[in-house]
Chains A and B, each alone.
Chain A
Amino acid sequence: MRPIPMVERVALAVRDLAVQFASEQGVVRALDGVSFDLQAGRTLGVVGESGCGKSVTARSILRLVDRPGRITAGRMLLDPGTAGEVDLATLDPESKTMRGVRGGRIGLIFQEPMTALSVHYTVGNQIIEAVRQHSDISAAAARNRAIELLGEVGIPRPETRLSAYPFELSGGLRQRVGIAMALAGDPQIVIADEPTTALDVTTQAQILALLQRLQREKNIALMLITHDMGVIAEMADDVAVMYLGRVVEYAPVEEVFATPRHPYTRALLRAVPSILATPRQRLSTIGGAVPHPGSRPSGCAFHPRCVEQLGAICAEQSPRPIAPGQAGAACFKAEQGAAA
């Protein structure tokens, strides 16, 4: 059981975020109105198949979406409701303010520890760089801070690791270094983009435990992106299910697992292999594949693959987006169910 967090202030409020990519085939809407909240001390699990826009969301928050992509609508409010409220969507990506946010207010942890760290520089060099980017301290002090950070993420004998190159470390250690680097600027929000996908199961458990501990200690708002429902169950307080650039369901984790509202969520849950299944039972799959965002189906984006679709209404009309800050699903059937 997770302890009830002391403070539930909203650290980042994303409202109706829309991101487009201009390509030869036309305009591709990678994100089509995404809304969610990141609260201090709580973990938001963002789940969905490949291509649903999870990573684009993470990048957009940090304004790291490269040309030809751009944010076309929406707001990303840092510290909403306070005097220091700032809309990240309006900032110039290269401005000092935005760069201060990157790493200083919001940290990013990557999926592939193999490729997320540069092989040409030592671990120490890369962490110290992050430290000094966000605080004006001397080289020696930065070095000590780096050792401290490595220790916090559970790396034994951190002072010896500073001069190591990433390729000299194992995958688990490398990911810990990645986490240390993300925390170097003392951010209050951390986005973890599939942090354990590339790791073996034992290491996965260790890293997840580490993230939980760090979150508790520093009261961090954690956005955990994954496609693994097991990780969601383990780590998340709230869940946002994404499909084709939209949030199709948003609810606390218990509700998502006990009473999923959206057919897609139900399908995802069915697809998880169960230890309780009868032998030789076929694995449940979701028919079809995620369409390319450039060729979005008409009406509800999920309807061609939806086994519970309601016919004409699902094919022609787009369901209403979920009201921000509340639990719900963007689905006609769910609406009907809620109304009943």
Chain B
Amino acid sequence: MVMYFLRRLGLALVTCVFISVLSFVIIRLPPGDFVDAYIANLAASGSTVSVEQGEAMRREYGLDRPLVVQYARWMGRVLQGDFGVSMAWRRPVTEVIGDRLWLTMIVSVSALFLTWMVALPIGIYSAMRQYSFWDYLFTTLGFIGLAIPNFLLALILMYLGFRYLGLNVGGLFSAEYIQAPWSWARVWDLMKHLPLPAAVLALAGTAQLIRIMRANLLDELRKPYVVTARAKGLTERHAVLKYPVRAALNPFASSIAYLFPYLVSGSIVVSLVLGLPTVGPLLLQALVAQDMFLAGAIVLLLGFMTVIGTLISDLLLMWIDPRIRLGGR
């Protein structure tokens, strides 16, 4: 078990390095560099920078050094918590990101919980009562969920909410709490606003997982150990929940590993449509404005948080499956 955990940890670290390289690539992709953009920015507001000043800035930021060195310097600063300065906001990146990263994680994790809580029981029910009315209903809903891209769903819901209920269903906070400092009241306000974004985000993943759970459980239900369990005199519900569900949970839990990155990804676009104060809108702004330190930092942090989330779900999987715990493969 320890070996398994260490291996997953090692993999997580490698993934983090990979993400940092990718983020750096994104930062440096657009033609020109930070100093060019800075000069252009200043020029737009009227002030000028001389060529020598420009060169001096370059040396100071290490932009005259080879790319690998720049990467190392950037990572070095990142590991100390310094993500550079945002061009557009003229403030340190960490300040600009502020709460948004946490809010992104909260929305994604809520969607994750929602997915589990909904997909698991429905998947089990659908498998046990195959071909029943509810099974068909859930299957159809599932297909609809699969078919509507989440941002489209958000758009449609926004429109319906606005048109028929006259309210703006987007956002994570009511007007009075947007800028307010954190308090229990603010947390409660957040919870009240979470269900819609979480639901929109969770829909596609939930539909997918219901199908997986249903298919896996149907496979397991055909196996001999289920009959053995029922031959002991257990009720159908007890026997199914204890045995085949446990077995079907395995592939279920391992899909969770890839569900979390998918949710974090999806939250970017959904939060744009719903106007959530998360990382999504900020990232888009940064990319459009070519504010590369900000954009790169966001990508990096998103990646890191995702890896951590995935690692946690790996631990969950370890707990569920005794074969891993006892050193099997």
A residues at B contact (CB < 8 Å): 59, 62, 64, 94, 99-104, 107-108, 110-112, 115-121, 129-130, 133-134, 165, 167-168, 178, 181-182, 184-185
Contacts and interface: CB of A to CB of B under 8 A. Distances in A.
B246 A118 contact: yes
Given A110-B224, A118-B225, A133-B232, 4 more contacts: A64-B230, A104-B233, A110-B228, A120-B322
B235 A94 contact: yes
Interface in B315-329: 321-323, 326, 328
Interface of B: 223-225, 227-236, 242-243, 246-247, 321-323, 326, 328
Contacts of A184: 232
A108 B322 contact: no
B322 A165 contact: yes
Contact of B232 (A111, A120, A129): A129
B231 A62 contact: yes
B234 A99 contact: yes
Nearest to B231: A108
Contact of A185 (B229, B232, B247): B232
Nearest to B234: A133
B233 A134 contact: yes
Q: Which of B228, B233, B321, B328 has the most CB of A within 10 A?
A: B233
Contacts of B232: 102-103, 129-130, 133, 181, 184-185
Nearest to B225: A118
B243 A120 contact: yes
B231 A107 contact: yes
A117 B326 contact: no
A107 B233 CA distance: 10
B136 to A, nearest CB: 16
Given A104-B233, A107-B231, A167 B225 contact: no
A115 B225 contact: yes
A99 B231 contact: no
Contacts of B223: 115
Nearest to A168: B326
Given A117-B225, A118-B229, A129 B234 contact: yes
Given A119-B322, A120-B243, A167-B323, A59 B233 contact: no
A100 B233 CA distance: 6
B228 A64 contact: no
Contacts of B236: 94
Nearest to B129: A67
Contacts of A119: 247, 322-323
Q: Is the interface of B mostly helix, strand, loop or mixed?
A: helix
B233 A108 contact: no
23 contacts: A59-B227, A62-B230, A62-B231, A64-B227, A94-B235, A94-B236, A100-B233, A101-B233, A104-B233, A108-B227, A110-B224, A111-B224, A112-B224, A116-B224, A118-B243, A118-B247, A120-B247, A120-B322, A121-B242, A129-B232, A130-B233, A134-B233, A185-B233
A102 B234 CA distance: 8
A231 B94 CA distance: 77
Given A165-B326, A167-B323, A167-B328, A116 B233 contact: no
Contacts of B243: 118, 120-121
A287 to B, nearest CB: 32
Given A94-B236, A100-B233, A129-B234, A116 B322 contact: no
Contacts of B242: 121
Nearest to B227: A64
A64 B228 CA distance: 10
Nearest to B236: A94
A279 B261 CA distance: 68
A116 B328 contact: no
Given A115-B224, A116-B224, A64 B246 contact: no
A107 B231 CA distance: 7
Nearest 4 Cβ contacts at the A-B interface: A108-B231, A103-B233, A102-B233, A99-B233
Contacts of A167: 323, 328
B231 A64 contact: yes
A232 B234 CA distance: 32
A116 B233 CA distance: 15
